[in-house]
Amino acid sequence: MLQYFVMELLAVYEDQDEAEEAEGKVTGPKRLASDRDDNQVVWRLFGTASLGNFYALDMYELPKLKKLLECRKSGGSGYDEGEHQRILGNLSSLVNTYGLSIPDHWK
């Protein structure tokens, strides 16, 4: 039985070393492809669109969201409700583009 994996364009890099480092952070099926854009080579990272992969790539302010959630859980003074809601609002693009869902404990 054949299995198909859907790989999405996750990020584009202008530096090969940065692209290869990012590729190492992504889990699941992945592919790094070079492409010539005008006179410059760009590197396109394809992989599984998941919250874990976007977090590993430091995208969509997910590491900042994690810190906010840790502050909220511990009752720390670093929690900012407005910033939390702003980041969640920005994550709507992930929901719409990739069909992901935001975990309830992030809300």
pLDDT digits over 80-103, tens only? 999 999 999 999 888 899 999 999
Give the three-state DSSP class for 100. coil
In this predicted structure, the answer to whether residue 1 has a pLDDT above a threshold of 90 is no
φ, ψ for residue 51 (rounded to 5)?
A: -60, -35
State pTM to two decimals.
0.86
pLDDT digits over 12-65, tens only? 999 999 999 999 999 999 999 999 878 899 999 999 999 999 999 999 999 999
- DSSP-assigned beta bridge partners for residue 12: 44
Continuous segment of H or E residues that includes residue 55 = helix 51-56
